[in-house]
Amino acid sequence: MLRNQTVTSSRPNRNRPPGPRGLPIVGVLPYVRRDSLRFYLATTRRYGDIAYLGRGFYAINNPSYIKYILQDHNSNYVKGGAIPNLKLLVGEGLLTSEGGFWRRQRRLAQPAFHRQRLGLLAATMTDATVEMLERWQTFTVGSQPFDVAAEMIRLTLNIVSRTLFSTDMSGDTNTVRRALPTSLKYVRQRSLSAFPPPTHWPLPSNLRFQQARRALDAIVYRVIEERRCSGRDHGDLLSMLMLATDEETGEAMDDRQLRDEVMTIFLAGHETTANALSWTFYLLSLHPDIERRMHAEVVEVLGDRTPTVDDLSRLSYTRQVLDESMRLYPPAWLISRSPIQDDEIGGYTIPAGETILISPYTMHRNPAYWDNPEGFDPERFTPEKQAARPRFAYFPFGGGPRICIGNNFALMESQLILAMISQRYRLHLVSGHPVAPQTMITLRPRYGILMTLHQR
C-alpha cells in the first residue's frame, strides 16, 4: 500500500488494475451478495488502493484518490452504482439528482441546515428525547429487553418530522418500519443482479416494492397536503421548498418534485442517524471503561440538566465516541461515482461510464491509516490525531460538493441523544443476542440490538 501514490501519472496504464477473478457472466456479484463487507474488505486488503472487480466496477481505498474523485475533480463525476435503482424510491431528490438541477435544489435546501437554524432545532430534539426516556421507564421494570435499533428509528423519525417538516409522524413509525426495509432490500437486490427484471412485470418482488412505496408515498403526500391546507410559513425545510420559485419562470416546485425532496430527506434524515446511535450503544456495551469515561464527562458538563447546543463543544469525548462508532460502522457504507469522461486514477485509465466504488467501511479499516483497525478507541479522534490523518481517511458524511447536507444536524442530534440517555441509563446487550451488520443502502444491525436498561 503506497501512502503517497499520485492520483494521476504521466503515462496512464490502459490495462485494468488487478482484482479478484469472478465467475463467468455474473462476475463477483455472488460474493458481494453473500457478504458485501467481507468481500470488499478482503479485496482491498489483497489488492490495495485500487482493484478491478469486473463488469466495469472498481474499488478504491486510498484517501488521495477519494479526495480527487469526491472533491478536486468532482465535476467529472456523477453518482453511479445503486443510484438508478434508488431513484425508483426517492425519484429526483437531492441525493440522486445531478448537474444544474441538483445545484439549484441544494441551494434552496441549504438554509434549513445553517448553524443558526440548527441551534433553534436543538430544543425540539431534546423534547423528543425526553418523551422517549419517559416511555422507556416501562423497560426498567424487571429489566425487560427491548430493541434499541427500533427505538432509535422511532426517535429519529420523530425528530426529522418535527424539525424539518413541523409535523408529527410518530403514528407512522410502524408503517415506515415495515415499508422501508422492503424498499431498501428491493433496491439492493436489483443493484446486485446481473439482469434485473423490468419493474413493471407483476413479480412478487415488484409488487411488494410497489406496495411499500405506496405506503411511504401516502405519508409524504399527506405531509405536503397538510402544509398546503394550513398555508403557514413555518420557516422550516418544507416551507423553504414549497415557497421557492424558479428564478426564470416564477413557478413553484410541482407536487412530484416536492414529493421526491421530502421523501429523500425523510429517508436520508432518520435511518442513518438511527443506525449510528444503535451501533454506538452496542459498542459502548462492549467497552464499559469507555462508557464510564463518557458518562463522567456528561455528569461533569451537564449534571442532570437537559443539554443545549452550547454544551456540545464541551461534550468532546461524547463526540469522539460517536466519531469512532461511525468509523467502525459508517451508516452510509458505500458511495459510488462514474466518470463523465475517461479519467485516470492511480495510473490506470477509468473509462467514462464505468463505476468506482468508494467504501467508508473499508477506508475506515485500512491498516495503513488506522492502527489496530478493528479496535474501538475514541482516542483516535482527539484534535491532534485527527489533524495528523489525511482528510479522506475518514469520511462518514462523504465530501466535496455532495457532502451530506444533514451532517451537522445528525452530529448535533446524536450528541444530544447520547448524552441524555447516558445521564439516565446504562444499556446492556442481552447475552446471546446475535449482532451482525446488514448491508442495505445503509449499514444496519441485521437482528436489531436487544438491550436492557439500568437506571443510574
| Burial class for 321, CB neighbours closer than 10 Å (0-12, 13-18, 19+) | buried
Which stretch, 122-130, 201-209, 263-271, 424-432, contacts ligand HEM (CB under 6 A)? 263-271
For ligand HEM, what does the binding mask look like between residues 68 and 87, x meaning CB under 6 A? -----------x--------
The amino acid at residue 454 is: H
Give SS3 for 303.
coil
For ligand HEM, what does the binding mask look like between residues 375 and 414, x meaning CB under 6 A? ---------------------xxx---x-xxx--xx----
Nearer to ligand HEM, 95 or 298 (CB): 95
Which stretch, 115-123, 183-191, 262-270, 416-424, contacts ligand HEM (CB under 6 A)? 262-270
- 158, containing H or E segment: helix 148-164
Min dist CB 136 to ligand HEM, Å, is: 22
- 273 is an interface residue for ligand HEM by CB under 6 A: yes
- 276 is an interface residue for ligand HEM by CB under 6 A: yes
Question: What is the footprint of ligand HEM within residues 93-122 (CB under 6 A)?
Answer: 94-95, 106
Min dist CB 398 to ligand HEM, Å, is: 3
- Contacts with ligand HEM by CB under 6 A: the residue count is 24
Nearer to ligand HEM, 32 or 152 (CB): 152
The residue whose Cβ lies closest to ligand HEM is 406
Q: Among 174, 164, 409, which Cα is nearest to 266's?
A: 164
Q: List all residues 6 or more positions away from 50 whose beta carbon is below 8 Å from its beta carbon.
A: 17, 58, 59, 60, 61, 62, 65, 345, 346, 348
Rounded Cα gap, residues 286 and 324, in angstroms = 14
Nearer to ligand HEM, 331 or 445 (CB): 331
- 128 is an interface residue for ligand HEM by CB under 6 A: no
Rounded Cα gap, residues 127 and 211, in angstroms = 33
β partners of residue 425 = 455
Nearer to ligand HEM, 413 or 452 (CB): 413
- 50 is an interface residue for ligand HEM by CB under 6 A: no
Nearer to ligand HEM, 268 or 420 (CB): 268
Min dist CB 265 to ligand HEM, Å, is: 5
The DSSP secondary structure of 310-355, one letter per residue, reads GGGGG-HHHHHHHHHHHHHS-SS--EEEEESS-EEETTEEE-TT-E
Nearer to ligand HEM, 363 or 453 (CB): 363
Which stretch, 33-41, 184-192, 264-272, 372-380, contacts ligand HEM (CB under 6 A)? 264-272
CA atoms within 13 A on the CB side of 196: 17
Backbone angles phi, psi at 30, to 5 degrees: -60, -35
Min dist CB 404 to ligand HEM, Å, is: 3
Nearer to ligand HEM, 370 or 409 (CB): 409
Nearer to ligand HEM, 30 or 401 (CB): 401
Backbone angles phi, psi at 83, to 5 degrees: -60, -45
Min dist CB 397 to ligand HEM, Å, is: 5
Locate 249 and state its grid cell.
419562470
Query: Binding ligand HEM by CB under 6 A: which of 265, 315, 420, 440?
Result: 265
Query: Binding ligand HEM by CB under 6 A: which of 63, 269, 378, 448?
Result: 269
Rounded Cα gap, residues 255 and 239, in angstroms = 13
Measured CA to CA in angstroms, residue 287 lies from 27, 282, 297, 325, 373 at distances of: 40, 9, 16, 12, 16
For ligand HEM, what does the binding mask look like between residues 156 and 175, x meaning CB under 6 A? ----x---------------
Min dist CB 431 to ligand HEM, Å, is: 28
Min dist CB 372 to ligand HEM, Å, is: 23
Nearer to ligand HEM, 31 or 354 (CB): 354
Which strands, in side-by-side order, build the sheet including 335-339? 50-54, 57-60, 355-358, 335-339, 77-79
The amino acid at residue 388 is: A
In the block, cell 412505496 appears at: 213
Q: List all residues 6 or more positions away from 325 whose beta carbon is below 8 Å from its beta carbon.
A: 276, 279, 280, 283, 376
Min dist CB 108 to ligand HEM, Å, is: 11
Give yes or no for a contact between 148 and 421, defined as CB atoms under 8 angstroms apart.
no
Rg (CA), the chain: 22
Nearer to ligand HEM, 17 or 406 (CB): 406
- 37 is an interface residue for ligand HEM by CB under 6 A: no
Residues of this chain that interact with ligand HEM (CB under 6 A) are: 79, 94-95, 106, 160, 264-265, 268-269, 272-273, 276, 331-332, 335, 396-398, 402, 404-406, 409-410
